[in-house]
Structure 1
Amino acid sequence: MHQLHNFLANLTLVLGVAAVTAFLFQRLRQPVVLGYILAGMIVGPYIPIPLAVDSDIVHTLSELGIIFLLFSLGLEFSIRKLMKVLPTAGLITLIQCAFMLWLGYITGRAFGWSNIESFYAGAMIAISSTTIVVKAFSELGIRDNVTETVFAILIVEDFIAILLLAGLPALTQSRDSSGLMFAKAVGTLVMFLVTVIAAGMILIPRILRIVMRMNRSEVTLVVIIGICFAISLLAKEMGYSVALGAFIAGSLMAESGDEGYLDTLIRPVRDLFAAVFFVSVGMLFDPSVFARHWLSLLIFIVLVVVGKFLGVTVGTFLVGYGTRHSIRTGLSLAQIGEFSFIIAGMGVATGATGTFLFPLAVAVSIITTFAAPWRIRGSDTIAKWVDKYMPHRLQTFTTLYSTWIQRLRQPQSPVARSRIKRLSFLLFIDTVLFTSIILGALLSLETLTSRLKTWIDLPEIPAQSIGILMTIVLATPFGVGIIRCIHALGFELTARVMPRQEKGKLDLAVAPRRVLTVTLQLGIVLLVGLPLLALTQPFVPSFYSALVFAIILMFLGVVFWRGTTQLYGHVRAGAEMVVEMLSTSMEKQREISVIPEDQFLPGLGSVFSIRLVPGSLAIGRTLADLNLRGITGASVIAITHGKQGVVVPTGKERLQEGDILAITGTEEALKLSKQLLLGRE
């Protein structure tokens, strides 16, 4: 009886304080998650307020919160959704997560943390908070194409977070073991995932369809919670996180096709226990961490905000979104949340990390989450400012690059698709084999050295040198294969946008083709190199691998910068031809609305002309005042007024009635430009 009274007293205190703080944060238009964390700090042991609760009871309830929270995320995740967003959001997320893993690792090592602690730190800051981002967009009333991109990235990030939750225990088990033990741990993990997912795909959707035919919501609720707990318990018994099991359970139930109904059914239970989970997070937060680890806290806050912004922005731009869209997406995802707590908590619970990591994760999350609404609101202004002060050659490149990628996304011939798929597959195989050889050799170097000493009676250093030489000999062909595939894939993708001219004919697309090729190669290097750096850094000397990667990026960067200079000259030449064509058409009183690319220099895309009619909003204003490129992503390459023309405007030219503007950009950018230029006062 006393235990029941103690349980009810603690639960009443937790939910009562959480209700008050959640109400206050809702009125202040802040994420209620922060209110729950504040409630945990109030009832926790580190703040001298006489409202302390039994941490064991709250911890047990918080485990249920983790299960329901991850189960709900699993319901929103499905293989269908993943496959749909993978070609774009998958590439963005891979670049961003790998970049953050690497940044977190090298920062941890700089602070003197162990390899495994540093890797956990990288994993902790790699994943944004789905809960916080969705809530922030909902409260701000934002729903546009940027929102769609952000949510697509979050779907893939959730998937990567689950892979980290599954893989980190294997890494922890192998830190003092041989390469054979590491391979065994990975093999066990793969077998567990394959078995559970295969069996679940066969059984769970069928069970749910049978239960839902009864049309009894309470029975359905009991069944789905029972299945969720069963798979979570199985994961726990196998030595993995209950969060992994809960997410798998949710994603398997999503395959039934009724995930919307199931999510509605589970939502009240999830919200209740999720609140307790975030309260428990606040209880474990020690405010003195600000004093003891102020430097690491400050640096990790900067890493999350700046690193995530750069990683997401660069990745989003590379897959074909404009500058404004990319910057807004990057700023929207520059925070961490629930997965960071789970990863850091798992590291502390397994003894892989020191106890300092969890309060560090909470502190970074609180500060970056508080700033999230302001970052999202101000992202449009920041994007316009960046575009305004960007060098002219980069402004020209960013506009044209979006049009090139838009053309690349168009349906290709079967032969072209086959060549691209073949090169991509070869690149994947070479990367996997190269990584496997390097990791296998490093993990087994000590065993290999001892056997060489026994077999051929050599001292340790020569035996170790032979082992390293054997590794280099085995890995070199695959390393060369990676370089050749990246080189060939860049040229093959570019050829889909700007086909090569036949031999003997003048090739007018040399400049745009060169800069597009090197940009695609740069993107592929990031896509392959960053995950390699991130995943091998606990085993490979990070300085040398990072140095090689930096040299490759610097070389491609120099080639890219020279290419943008040549592209700018190419655009000027094309703009002069456009001005001449528009002037001639005006003399003949025949207006041209679209100038196909094949009528002048290739690589500029189709150029649209817009005449400023009386009453247009743009009359009397400059392009800089309108911020046309910053708002729409389109670029004005020429302006004609009568027989006079301006080639590649600087933005300071004042627009007049009757001016004809030659604009290039994506279809969406051109549509927005027309609305902006021809809008009425």
Structure 2
Amino acid sequence: MHGAHEVLQAIAVVLCVAAVTTVLFQKLRQPVVLGYILAGLVVGPYLPIPLVANPEVVTTLSELGVILLMFSLGLEFSLRKLFAVGPTAGVTAVIQCSIMIWLGFVVGRAFGWTTLESLFTGALISVSSTTIIAKAFDEQNIRGRLRELVVGVLIVEDLIAVLLMATLTAISSGTGLSVGELSLTTGRLVAFLVGLVVVGLFIIPRAVRYVVKLNKPETTLVASVGICFAVALLAQAFGYSVALGAFLAGSLVAESGEEKVVEHLVQPVKDIFAAIFFVSVGMLINPALIAEHWAAILVLTVVVIVGKLFSVTLGAFLTGHSTRTSVQAGMSLAQIGEFSFIIAGLGLSLKATGNFIYPVAVAVSAITTLTTPLLIRVSGPVASYVDRKLPKPLQTFVTLYGTWVERLRDAPRRQTFGASVRRLARLMVLDAVLLIVLVIGTSLTAGKLGSLIEQRLGIDENLSRYIILGGAVLLSIPFLVGVVQVARRLGEELAEAALPGRKDGRVDLAAAPRRVLLVTLQLGIILLVSVPVVAITQPFVRGAMGPLILLALIGALGVTFWRGATNLHGHVRAGAQVIVEALAAQSHSREPGADEHALDHVSKVLPGLGEPVPVRLETSSPAAGKTLAEVNLRGLTGATVLAIRRGDSSVSVPSAQEVLQPGDVLALTGTQDAVEAAKSLLTGAPAPTSEPEPTGAQV
């Protein structure tokens, strides 16, 4: 127990020093999170400055900051919104965590760390910091689809972290990892979440509405914070993260419809304890340990930033997000935080890792915490730069891919989630599980089997090992082939649902888009299955056989994809001529509203080009007189211009240097949200309230 004097002293020292550093950083126009971390370094035990706060007291108080931050974040995400973003965020999180676990393991082995230390390293760098991102997003006013995607990924990462901790505990304690134990752990987690949500929906929203009706802000604040801490404590009692419980509490309160009232009241309390949390992170920075392990810290920092940027961007794009949102999500998630400390501490408590893992994790977290606000701030310009530098076929594909995924989501459920899709998904999971069992089983029993073969047949031990490995490779081939074949069949089902083929024997004008969509879906499905398989089996396999097989497969699909993207670009050019003719025919029409309906038939004639929408530029348009490159329409919104009608002339697939003029009618394509955002940008009208893509000003 801490005395009242210690608590008072710690709060006074922390908040006074934090006040000075944050005022300084505000003057320098830097994120206040950096000021909090600097304050933590100042009041920490590692610098010879006569301002020291009790680390244990500060850590205890910082836990309140984590809980309140997660509660506030949950207030923004009702359960309906969370379920809506869940599938795409889940795919992104699985790809990201699998790649990072594998990279962390490889780095650990490269530094000569044990297998367990390498596994813990991979686990702790796989989970990003919800607290740090929430604070940075609040400071930079990040809203819309980017925030929804990032928070969805973070929640799924927390669930993955729970499973990782259970798995690592089983391995480290010597009980071993079994499919039964992992299934039991997963089942318990699902049961807890379902039970909490079902019971909470019956109680919490009604209780919050009743309290708010009393019109007593003090009562509303006390009741809301009480619900927050009660659910967080419940989650902890079941062995899960208090942050997860607090987030779910916020989501349940948001179901009451009074989340804005609660959020306004909780804000000041949250800000105080969030400041203490970031100060506590700064207090953990030990300059001496950083100097001792600087090489590992530097390498892991680079791996975290580059690895998360690549993996999150890849996962987000494959699930249908624009280049801009995908890159911004990757740069936003490029750090580690509180869950990494928990995993590192677990390794120490189980005596599975050396004492150096924890300070290394803290140092990497501190450095990436410093870089996160900057990465989020520059993510918009970086995303625009990436979009500009993409080859033309890829620019075309990126725009249209979002429209295909949107059509796939909107397709009738009986088409996309029918019995055949579920059956194929089950077959793929079965192939992946059997492949994992075969690899791990061969690795664990190769020694005993080799000795047995040597005794029975008199074969040299090394030769017997090669025989066992060769047999395992032969046995694994059917499973590898099965994954590829099922991925293709599943991709065909989904591609056909998004872009149905013609059944009347006429020319199938959707063939080119469907082919490239098929390859992309096949690539995404293989990544979703194969990357976790490689991450799980890597500790049991010597060398880089698994990653090399995966890279070879991706390379082969990549060549096919590039050919398809090139053909798609030609298909779009041909389609643009049809759009030009439609716009030209419309220009002779005197019917009111002819502009709006000029391209209604194009999507039926040329499926795969999205739903082209005409937009007329007025004299007052902010885009008039600027080139398409200066407007940066595709980079900012995700929509692209297929054609322009200018008086009696037209331009198909205009270049970036095309100057827009008043009276131009632009044929835009992209997702519905992207087209709405583009129309707003071109006409200067206010952006719709549901606009998903953040603008450059926001970021």
Alpha-carbon distance between aligned partners in 2 of 1:40 and 1:625, rounded to the nearest angstrom: 43
Superposition deviation, residue 252 in structure 1: 8.6
Structure 1 residues 483 and 656: CA distance shift in structure 2, 3 A: same
Superposition deviation, residue 319 in structure 1: 0.9
Q: Does 1:568 align with 2:564?
A: no
Residues 137-156 of structure 1: pairs in structure 2 closer than 5 A = 137-156=137-156
Post-superposition CA distance 1:324-362 (Å, at most 9, x none): 122222222222211112222222332222222222222
Q: What SS class does the counterpart of residue 374 from structure 1 fall into?
A: helix
Residue number among 585, 604, 609 corresponding to 2:614 in the alignment? 609
Structure 1 residues 36 and 354: CA distance shift in structure 2, 3 A: farther
Residue number among 654, 671, 680 corresponding to 1:675 in the alignment? 680
| Residue of structure 1 equivalent to 2:177 | 183
| Residue of structure 1 equivalent to 2:309 | 309
Alpha-carbon distance between aligned partners in 1 of 2:675 and 2:155, rounded to the nearest angstrom: 30
Q: What SS class does the counterpart of residue 177 from structure 2 fall into?
A: helix
Which segment is superposed worse, 487-496 or 263-272?
263-272
Q: What SS class does the counterpart of residue 610 from structure 1 fall into?
A: strand
| Residue of structure 2 equivalent to 1:558 | 559
The two structures have a TM-score, normalised by structure 2, of 0.82
| Residue of structure 2 equivalent to 1:512 | 513
Superposition deviation, residue 631 in structure 1: 1.6
Q: Could you tell me whether the CA contact under 8 Å between 1:312 and 1:330 is conserved in 2?
A: yes
| Residue of structure 2 equivalent to 1:133 | 133
Superposition deviation, residue 428 in structure 1: 1.7
| Residue of structure 2 equivalent to 1:177 | none
Superposition deviation, residue 232 in structure 1: 4.8
Alpha-carbon distance between aligned partners in 1 of 2:225 and 2:659, rounded to the nearest angstrom: 65
Superposition deviation, residue 524 in structure 1: 1.1
Alpha-carbon distance between aligned partners in 1 of 2:252 and 2:145, rounded to the nearest angstrom: 28
Q: Could you tell me whether the CA contact under 8 Å between 1:14 and 1:43 is conserved in 2?
A: no
Q: Could you tell me whether the CA contact under 8 Å between 1:82 and 1:155 is conserved in 2?
A: no
Residues 517-536 of structure 1: pairs in structure 2 closer than 5 A = 517-536=518-537
| Residue of structure 1 equivalent to 2:695 | none
Post-superposition CA distance 1:5-36 (Å, at most 9, x none): xx455444433322123323543356666666
| Residue of structure 2 equivalent to 1:380 | 380
Superposition deviation, residue 589 in structure 1: 4.9
Structure 1 residues 641 and 462: CA distance shift in structure 2, 3 A: same
Residues 136-535 of structure 1: pairs in structure 2 closer than 5 A = 136-174=136-174, 181-183=175-177, 187=180, 191=184, 194=187, 232=236, 235=239, 244=240, 246=242, 282-412=282-412, 414-418=414-418, 419-450=420-451, 460-461=461-462, 463-465=464-466, 467-468=468-469, 471-472=472-473, 474-502=475-503, 505-535=506-536
Q: What SS class does the counterpart of residue 182 from structure 1 fall into?
A: coil
Q: Percent of counterpart pairs with the same letter?
A: 42
Alpha-carbon distance between aligned partners in 2 of 1:196 and 1:619, rounded to the nearest angstrom: 55
Counterpart of 1:105, as a letter, is F
Q: What SS class does the counterpart of residue 646 from structure 1 fall into?
A: strand
Counterpart of 1:380, as a letter, is G
Residue number among 623, 632, 655 corresponding to 1:627 in the alignment? 632
Alpha-carbon distance between aligned partners in 2 of 1:474 and 1:164, rounded to the nearest angstrom: 29
| Residue of structure 2 equivalent to 1:178 | none
Alpha-carbon distance between aligned partners in 2 of 1:553 and 1:508, rounded to the nearest angstrom: 28
Counterpart of 1:165, as a letter, is M
**Structure 2 unpaired stretches of 5+:** 212-218, 687-699
Q: Could you tell me whether the CA contact under 8 Å between 1:167 and 1:189 is conserved in 2?
A: yes
Superposition deviation, residue 377 in structure 1: 2.4
Q: What SS class does the counterpart of residue 513 from structure 1 fall into?
A: helix
Q: Could you tell me whether the CA contact under 8 Å between 2:59 and 2:280 is conserved in 1?
A: yes
Alpha-carbon distance between aligned partners in 2 of 1:267 and 1:443, rounded to the nearest angstrom: 53
Q: What SS class does the counterpart of residue 549 from structure 1 fall into?
A: helix
Superposition deviation, residue 641 in structure 1: 2.4
Post-superposition CA distance 1:381-427 (Å, at most 9, x none): 22222222322111111111111111011132525521222212221
Superposition deviation, residue 162 in structure 1: 1.8
Post-superposition CA distance 1:106-146 (Å, at most 9, x none): 22222222222222222222111111111111122232221
Which segment is superposed worse, 569-578 or 290-299?
290-299
Which segment is superposed worse, 562-571 or 476-485?
476-485
After superposition, the CA RMSD in angstroms is 4.1
Alpha-carbon distance between aligned partners in 2 of 1:171 and 1:324, rounded to the nearest angstrom: 40
Alpha-carbon distance between aligned partners in 2 of 1:226 and 1:606, rounded to the nearest angstrom: 49
Residue number among 643, 651, 672 corresponding to 1:646 in the alignment? 651
Q: What SS class does the counterpart of residue 541 from structure 1 fall into?
A: coil
Q: What SS class does the counterpart of residue 622 from structure 2 fall into?
A: coil
Counterpart of 1:653, as a letter, is E
Q: Could you tell me whether the CA contact under 8 Å between 2:78 and 2:254 is conserved in 1?
A: no
Superposition deviation, residue 475 in structure 1: 3.9
Q: Does 1:15 align with 2:16?
A: no
**Structure 1 unpaired stretches of 5+:** 175-180, 236-243
Residues 92-103 of structure 1: pairs in structure 2 closer than 5 A = 92-103=92-103
Alpha-carbon distance between aligned partners in 1 of 2:190 and 2:323, rounded to the nearest angstrom: 40
Aligned residues: 659
Q: What SS class does the counterpart of residue 654 from structure 1 fall into?
A: coil
Structure 1 residues 424 and 367: CA distance shift in structure 2, 3 A: same
Which segment is superposed worse, 66-75 or 402-411?
66-75
Q: Could you tell me whether the CA contact under 8 Å between 1:67 and 1:232 is conserved in 2?
A: no
Superposition deviation, residue 540 in structure 1: 2.0
Which segment is superposed worse, 620-629 or 581-590?
581-590
Superposition deviation, residue 172 in structure 1: 2.0
Structure 1 residues 670 and 199: CA distance shift in structure 2, 3 A: closer
Q: Could you tell me whether the CA contact under 8 Å between 2:582 and 2:599 is conserved in 1?
A: no
Alpha-carbon distance between aligned partners in 2 of 1:252 and 1:629, rounded to the nearest angstrom: 36
Post-superposition CA distance 1:573-611 (Å, at most 9, x none): 111222123223324556453243455433212222223
Structure 1 residues 225 and 569: CA distance shift in structure 2, 3 A: closer
Q: What SS class does the counterpart of residue 444 from structure 1 fall into?
A: helix
Alpha-carbon distance between aligned partners in 2 of 1:668 and 1:223, rounded to the nearest angstrom: 36
Structure 1 residues 202 and 134: CA distance shift in structure 2, 3 A: closer
Alpha-carbon distance between aligned partners in 1 of 2:304 and 2:374, rounded to the nearest angstrom: 16
Post-superposition CA distance 1:482-507 (Å, at most 9, x none): 12111111111111122233485433
Which segment is superposed worse, 404-413 or 576-585?
576-585
Q: What SS class does the counterpart of residue 287 from structure 2 fall into?
A: coil
Q: Does 1:584 align with 2:589?
A: no
Q: What SS class does the counterpart of residue 615 from structure 1 fall into?
A: coil
Structure 1 residues 667 and 415: CA distance shift in structure 2, 3 A: closer
Superposition deviation, residue 379 in structure 1: 2.0
Q: What SS class does the counterpart of residue 538 from structure 1 fall into?
A: helix
| Residue of structure 2 equivalent to 1:240 | none
Which segment is superposed worse, 20-29 or 360-369?
20-29
Q: What SS class does the counterpart of residue 155 from structure 1 fall into?
A: helix
Structure 1 residues 128 and 249: CA distance shift in structure 2, 3 A: closer
Alpha-carbon distance between aligned partners in 2 of 1:255 and 1:610, rounded to the nearest angstrom: 39
Q: Could you tell me whether the CA contact under 8 Å between 2:21 and 2:38 is conserved in 1?
A: no
Counterpart of 1:498, as a letter, is L
Counterpart of 1:678, as a letter, is T
Alpha-carbon distance between aligned partners in 1 of 2:232 and 2:498, rounded to the nearest angstrom: 48
Q: Could you tell me whether the CA contact under 8 Å between 2:623 and 2:682 is conserved in 1?
A: yes
| Residue of structure 2 equivalent to 1:239 | none
Post-superposition CA distance 1:411-470 (Å, at most 9, x none): 325255212222122212221222123223323333444555677776644554554455
Alpha-carbon distance between aligned partners in 1 of 2:277 and 2:663, rounded to the nearest angstrom: 64
Which segment is superposed worse, 195-204 or 374-383?
195-204
